[in-house]
């Protein structure tokens, strides 16, 4: 309604300007030449009444058929623009909230990724330490078993050597008892002992 009143006022002001301009132009045309004396233009009341009536009828017709639709169209256009602005503002707010949500999700994803990477690193370090400890334990066990086996073989060799020496001692003693021992016999017994010991080591 305010738009209609503004249009009517603007139209009336425009018609007033046109009327004033026409009156001034008519007065200039009807003015007497210089030195010709004053001349009052005749008043045509009928023309003025018909002009006023036509103006009022035109104003009424415009008010009924033109001003209202134009004002309504302008009002609708204004409402559309207003709704568009409100919708754009709403979409901007939603877009900002969505962007904030995305940024928050990205930050959380980065934090989770960093956490997973750290957990993987710790787990890898733990597995590495376990593997190293297991390898060291197995190596120590292998070395210990090897040492034990060497010790057993050493003891076995020593025992076999003792048995060999004992047997040879018995043989030498029996031979000594069988014959008289002199230097040549003693030398022969020692050589035989060394020879028998070498054969036993080779076997």
The one-digit pLDDT tens for each residue of the chain (203 residues) are 555 566 666 666 666 655 555 554 455 555 455 544 445 555 667 787 888 888 888 878 877 777 777 878 888 888 999 999 999 999 999 999 999 998 999 999 999 899 999 999 899 999 999 999 998 998 889 998 888 989 888 888 888 877 777 677 667 666 666 555 566 666 676 677 777 766 665 55
- Does 183 fall in a domain? yes
Which residue intervals of the chain are DSSP H helices?
Answer: 2-30, 45-61, 68-178, 183-202
Q: How many CB atoms within 10 Å of residue 164?
A: 14
Tell me whether residue 17 is in a domain. no
Domain count, the chain: 1
Nearest-5° Cα angle at 14, 9 to 16:
95
In this prediction, residue 22 carries a pLDDT of 52
Domain region containing 161: 154-202
In a domain, 186, yes or no: yes
Residue 160, pLDDT score: 81
Determine, yes or no, domain membership for 194: yes
pLDDT at 38: 47
196 CB-contact burial (10 Å; exposed 0-12 / middle 13-18 / buried 19+): middle
Q: What is the pLDDT of residue 179?
A: 55
**pLDDT at residue 177, as a whole number:** 61
Q: In this predicted structure, what is the pLDDT of residue 37? A: 46
pTM of the model: 0.36
Whether residue 86 is contained in a domain is answered as no
Identify whether the C-beta of residue 195 lies closer than 8 Å to the C-beta of residue 164: no
The residue written with tokens 């029996």 in the block is 174
The per-residue b/e assignment along 59-95, b for 16 or more CB within 10 angstroms, e otherwise, is eeeeeeeebeeebeeeeeeeeeeeeeeeeeeeeeeee
Phi, psi of 200 (to 5 degrees): -70, -35
Distance separating alpha carbons of residues 142 and 134, to the nearest angstrom: 12
Q: In the prediction, which pLDDT does 36 show?
A: 47
**Do residues 74 and 3 make contact, with C-beta atoms less than 8 angstroms apart?**
yes
Place of tokens 């990477």: 117
- Contact, 21 vs 15, CB < 8 A? no
User: Is 22 a domain residue?
Assistant: no
Residue 11: its pLDDT value, please?
63
Extract the tokens encoding 64.
């009924």
């Amino acid at each position: 309604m305010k738009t209609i009143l503004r249009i009517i006022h603007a139209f009336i002001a425009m018609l007033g300007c046109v009327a004033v301009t026409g009156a001034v132009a008519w007065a200039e045309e009807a003015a007497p030449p210089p030195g010709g004396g004053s001349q009052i233009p005749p008043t045509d009341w009928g023309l003025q009444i018909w002009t006023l009536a036509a103006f009022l009828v035109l104003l009424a017709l415009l008010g009924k058929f033109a001003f209202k639709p134009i004002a309504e169209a302008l009002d609708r256009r204004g409402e559309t623009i207003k709704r568009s602005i409100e919708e754009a503002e709403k979409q901007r707010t939603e877009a900002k909230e969505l962007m904030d949500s995305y940024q928050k999700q990205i930050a959380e994803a980065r934090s989770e990724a960093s956490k997973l990477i750290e957990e993987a690193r710790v787990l890898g370090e733990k597995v590495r330490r376990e593997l190293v400890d297991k390898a060291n334990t197995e190596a120590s066990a292998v070395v210990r078993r090897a040492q034990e086996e060497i010790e057993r073989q050493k003891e076995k060799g020593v025992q076999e050597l003792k048995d060999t020496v004992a047997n040879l001692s018995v043989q030498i003693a029996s031979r000594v008892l069988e014959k008289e021992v002199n230097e040549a016999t003693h030398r022969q017994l020692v050589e035989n002992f060394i020879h028998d010991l070498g054969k036993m080591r080779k076997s």
